[in-house]
A = this chain, B = another copy of it.
Amino acid sequence: MSDARYQPLPGFRDLAPQEYALRTYLYSAWREVAHRYGFVEWEAPMVEPTELYLKKSGGELPAQLFRFKDQGDRDISLRPELTASLGRIVSTRSLDYNKPLKWYEIGPCFRYEKPQKGRQREFVQFNVDILGEAGEGADAELLALAIDCMRKLGFKETDFLVRVSDREVWLQYAQQHGIPEERTQDFLAVIDKLERDRPEVSEEKLAIFGVTREQILEFIAHPPVGVSPRYDAVLEELKARGLADYVKMDLGVVRGLAYYTGLVFEIFDQAHSLRAIAGGGRYDRLISTLTDGSIHMPATGFAMGDAVIAHLIEACPEARALKDAALQPNTCDICLVLAAPEMRASMLSLAATLRDAGVRVDVPLSWSKLTKQLRHAERCGATYAAVIGAEYPSIELKCMATHESRRMTLEELICELIPH
């Protein structure tokens, strides 16, 4: 079965239930934390006009698009990220909502990159955005939410670190070092690549701007006190929430996309052996750009993917234990076991009664041996098995954990399973 016909495309994954369970686990954690913060869910199309991504993103995104022509000769692309769609929806609907908007989205994105550890061509992202609030309260709320997602998944402050930076600091730095305003984005792009480029490459790139790599590294290592008033204000808010230990100022973080302004951040594993777990920041001018200046709406947001986090869960014992416990197979509350085939109609009637009350019930779909049915009850993690035989409406209820059995009437069984 290694035949290519039986494989998904490179960078795409088949998720049979045992793999999908991890996704359900992540989705539940993300949703629960978003709801604790009063966020509401939205969704965008999977496919968008390509123009939407060419206009605002910059960076490597255009080259990574799954881009094609549809039957109507439209230039369309699978969405590589959600911010562009969010910008459109918010622009067209800005009057329908009270500010600030606190919106989240969970869904697939697509990028044509070389598949590798923590990077697939189809991946799911949790996108969280606050729109219509310029103050540091929004930056702090967003960072707290991101940290709480990590905590919810069982990660400790020894497992991950939120590296927070401020693009304003670099804009100021550029100004002080005589870098012309129109070249600032290029300068930021060099800083962004500092950790990944070889030193001599960075040196050469920086020379164009009249600064040395050593100067930059020194500035990142020892930023002047008070250099980012926004960071200081956010840190105060995080302290009040008891979350200050999860963050660290790190001016080495710049973020690749051109639309970011102000505070930006990335979450990494403490060992820094994996790609970023999440990243985001302010994009105060994006809505204005998309609407040619007709709507101004400050915004901040982040995205957290599923792939890197899955690796980190395996590497962190507490997070792994939480995940393993949540992924225990438990597909039903009670397995009905049919000991006498002529009682099938009675069994189905009982199943319908229990299911109508919300109980998760498994029934044999065809006749099989009692031992086989009981083995099945064990495998699917059922709490109970109920043996329905010739004695019906007297039923034997087995507790799967203790292996204890009790005989009871149909009415008693129903009372036991449906709390009133």
Contacts and interface: CB of A to CB of B under 8 A. Distances in A.
Interface stretch (A68-76, A156-164, A263-271, A400-408): A68-76
A350 to B, nearest CB: 10
Contacts of A45: 8-9, 12-14, 122
A383 interface: no
Nearest to A351: B241
Contacts of A245: none
Tell me if A's interface is mostly helix, strand, loop or mixed. mixed
A135 B237 CA distance: 62
Copies of this chain in the oligomer: 2
Interface stretch (A16-24, A214-222, A314-322): A16-24
A354 B66 CA distance: 43
B36 A360 contact: yes
Contact of A332 (B12, B38, B138): B38
Given A47-B9, A48-B8, A345-B240, A88 B14 contact: yes
A251 B345 CA distance: 26
A249 to B, nearest CB: 20
Interface residues of A, number: 100
A245 to B, nearest CB: 13
A377 B78 CA distance: 38
A35 B360 contact: yes
Given A36-B355, A48-B8, A135-B366, A42 B15 contact: yes
A365 B9 contact: no
